[in-house]
A and B are shown apart, each in its own frame.
Chain A
Amino acid sequence: EAGVAQSPRYKIIEKRQSVAFWCNPISGHATLYWYQQILGQGPKLLIQFQNNGVVDDSQLPKDRFSAERLKGVDSTLKIQPAKLEDSAVYLCASSLFAGDGNTIYFGEGSWLTVV
C-alpha cells in the first residue's frame, strides 16, 4: 500500500517569498491533516480536512497560510509571505477515521528553511 506522498522534500526560500507544499494521502483516507513541526517540538496541527471540508483550522495563521483540498484527495499548503519563524517540517498525514491514532499515517515531511 502506497504511503502518504509529499513534495517537495526540501525547500529553501527567502523571507517574504512564497512556497507551496503538496500532499497525496493514502487511498481511501477521508481525513487529511497538515502539521507543523519546529525543531525540538512536537507536531502542531495547522488544519484538518474531512473529504474536502475544513474541520479545524483554528491554529492556521490565516494571514499568511492557506490550504485547500478541492477534490477531497490531494491537498496543498501555501505560505505567503514566509517569515523566518516558518522554518519547520510540514507534515501531511491521513487517517481512515478522523482523529484515530491507530489509523493515521504521516508523510516524510517537507522541510522548509526561510532565510
Chain B
Amino acid sequence: RKEVEQDPGPFNVPEGATVAFNCTYSNSASQSFFWYRQDCRKEPKLLMSVYSSGNEDGRFTAQLNRASQYISLLIRDSKLSDSATYLCVVNPGAGTALIFGKGTTLSVSS
C-alpha cells in the first residue's frame, strides 16, 4: 500500500462547479497534513494546511479524519485559474520530510 494515495483523476469540470478530492494515508502516526498546488511545469506550492477541526480558505475547504486516515479538499465555484494538479501531502513524524501523493489533475473549462 502506498503511503499517500489520491484519486487518479483527471477531473474535468465547468466553471462554477464544485469538485472534491480525496486522499488516504497509511501511517496512523502521521502528524500534519497539507494540500499543495502544482501548476504545469512549475514547483509545488502550499495551498493550505489541514486540521482535524477542518480548515476553510475562501472557496477551498480541507477536512481531516484521523480515524479513517482520510483527507479531503473541496473547491467551490471553480475558476479557470484553479486548473492545476493538487497534491495531498503528509508529514509522518517530527523532523521528517514531507511525503507527497501522486497528485490529481483538475481542468476547469469555460
Contact = CB atoms under 8 A, between A and B. Distances in A.
B46 A41 contact: no
B43 interface: yes
Interface residues of B, number: 25
A102 B34 CA distance: 8
B44 A44 contact: no
Which residue of B89, B95, B96, B101 has the most chain A CB atoms within 10 A of its CB atom? B95
Interface in A1-59: 33, 35, 40-45, 48, 50, 55-56
A104 B98 contact: yes
Contacts of A102: 34, 46, 49
A108 interface: yes
Interface string A95-106: 000111110101
Contacts of A45: 97-99
Contacts of B101: 42
B66 interface: no
Contacts of B102: 40-42
B45 interface: yes
Interface residues of A, number: 23
Interface string B50-70: 000000000000000000000
Interface string B1-32: 00010000000000000000000000000001
B44 A106 contact: yes
A91 to B, nearest CB: 6
Nearest to B34: A101
A101 B32 contact: yes
B3 to A, nearest CB: 10
A109 B43 contact: yes
B100 A42 contact: yes
18 contacts: A41-B102, A42-B102, A44-B100, A45-B97, A48-B96, A55-B95, A55-B97, A91-B43, A98-B96, A99-B94, A99-B95, A100-B32, A101-B33, A102-B34, A106-B43, A106-B44, A106-B45, A107-B43
